[in-house]
A and B are shown apart, each in its own frame.
Chain A
Amino acid sequence: DTAVSQTPKYLVTQMGNDKSIKCEQNLGHDTMYWYKQDSKKFLKIMFSYNNKELIINETVPNRFSPKSPDKAHLNLHINSLELGDSAVYFCASSQAFWGQRTQETQYFGPGTRLLVL
């Protein structure tokens, strides 16, 4: 049983295109996240949603727009893709966020490898 799943696993596209990455978790968690891992393998958070509400929005170009239709899904839409967007994007989830004082382990998806040509 996959806990956190992402689609697609690989995405190769041309500069200027618009693409979406989907994430779903079946753990019943309230909080979901998007992370970007660059070519140097450094992981950095992009967004976090709790109960469909945006709670973390790091300094990310507004070409990136997260959408959470429900607690179990957090999708990432990217407009006008650029070469620098090439990276691995990880989705994660946790039971709750700090504001509820029950911070728990984050569970990560397998990643989506995006290559912009």
Chain B
Amino acid sequence: KQEVTQIPAALSVPEGENLVLNCSFTDSAIYNLQWFRQDPGKGLTSLLLIQSSQREQTSGRLNASLDKSSGRSTLYIAASQPGDSATYLCAVVLFGNEKLTFGTGTRLTIIP
């Protein structure tokens, strides 16, 4: 059974700093991995999707990496802004299994 863990559960950093969010998964036979953000009381917004054959994806100030062999992914946010405050969730899809298995999320607060 795939388990997805995100540590820490909450993180506060001053505005302007670079930061890294971590995601680990127990079954490395993944098809892809996605990072989402969820704003309070809102739905999920997809940020980045990394296929199993890829090692990283970039979008603006965001960079996601994938290391299947170690069962880890990181989301790097450069030059953080107060608008980055949200809960960040990673989710994986296993080969032969359509469903997304979500992590527990990291609640990020950027301090102005």
Partner of A106, one of B46, B87, B96: B46
Give chain B residues whose Cβ lies under 8 Å from the Cβ of A55: 98
Known contacts: A41-B105, A103-B93, A105-B34. The answer to whether A90 contacts B43 by CB under 8 A is: yes
Q: Inside 8 A of A99's CB, which chain B residues have their CB?
A: 98
In the complex, whether A111 has a CB less than 8 A from a CB of chain B is: yes
The docked-state distance in angstroms from the alpha carbon of A90 to that of B38 is 12
Tell me which residues across on chain B come within 8 A of A109, comparing CB atoms. Answer: 43
Interface centre among B36, B44, B87, B95 (most CB of A within 10 A): B44
Q: How far is the CB of B96 from chain A (nearest CB, A)?
A: 7
Contact of B99 (CB < 8 Å), options: A41, A58, A107? A58
The reply to whether A111 and B42 contact each other, CB–CB distance below 8 Å, is yes
Determine the residue in chain B with the shortest Cβ distance to A55. B98
Q: Is B100 an interface residue (CB 8 A)?
A: yes
- Known: A41-B87, A42-B104, A90-B44. Is A106-B99 also a contact (CB below 8 A)? no
Chain A residues, Cβ within 8 Å of B97: 98
Using an 8 Å CB-CB cutoff, how does the interface string of B73-112 with A read, 1 for contact, 0 for none? 0000000000000010101010111111110110000000
Residues of B within 8 A of A48 (CB): 98-99
Interface band, chain B: 20 to 34
Contacts of B34 in A (CB 8 A): 105-106
Q: Chain A CB within 10 Å — which of B32, B36, B97, B98 has the most?
A: B98
**B100 contacts A108, CB within 8 Å?**
no
B65 to chain A, nearest CB (A): 18
Does A18 count as interface, using CB distance less than 8 angstroms? no
Q: Which residue of B lies closest to A97 (CB)?
A: B98
21 A-B pairs in the complex with CB atoms less than 8 angstroms apart: A31-B98, A33-B99, A41-B104, A43-B44, A44-B102, A45-B100, A45-B101, A98-B31, A98-B96, A98-B97, A99-B98, A103-B31, A104-B49, A105-B34, A105-B49, A106-B46, A106-B100, A107-B46, A108-B44, A111-B42, A111-B43
Q: Which residues of A contact B (CB under 8 A)?
A: 4, 31, 33, 41-45, 48, 55-56, 58, 90, 92, 97-99, 103-111
